[in-house]
């Protein structure tokens, strides 16, 4: 959870989906966890960089409406300054 909240916003959706199965995980969930750790291992040298151009604050948002009875809507947003994410949530 710390990795998705504090360092890697790109895995936040995966982590939040896997957290739904903490009570009763299956083999498929464990495989997804292993793939997530492999991804983190491959990208550990990546870092946020800010460009030399002075750009405005840009924000993106999206929502997945829950069109099935047992599902909940999932929303997310990201705000960028000079191309680097400074705030995000899912």
pLDDT tens for each residue of 20-75: 898 888 999 999 999 999 998 998 887 766 666 667 788 999 887 766 677 777 88
Domain ranges of the chain: 1-47, 50-90
Within 13 Å and on the Cβ side, how many CA atoms surround 17?
A: 13
Q: What is the C-alpha to C-alpha distance for residues 53 and 36, in angstroms, rounded to an integer?
A: 33
pTM: 0.53
Q: Which of 19, 3, 22, 21 is nearest to 11 (CA)?
A: 3
């Amino acid at each position: 959870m710390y990795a998705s909240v504090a360092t890697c916003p790109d895995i936040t959706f995966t982590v939040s989906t896997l957290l739904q199965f903490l009570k009763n995980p299956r083999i498929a969930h464990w495989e997804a966890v292993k793939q997530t750790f492999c991804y983190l291992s491959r990208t550990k040298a990546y870092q946020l960089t800010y460009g030399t151009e002075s750009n405005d604050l840009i924000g993106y948002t999206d929502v997945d409406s829950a069109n099935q009875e047992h599902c909940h809507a999932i929303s997310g947003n990201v705000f960028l300054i000079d191309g680097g994410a400074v705030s995000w949530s899912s």
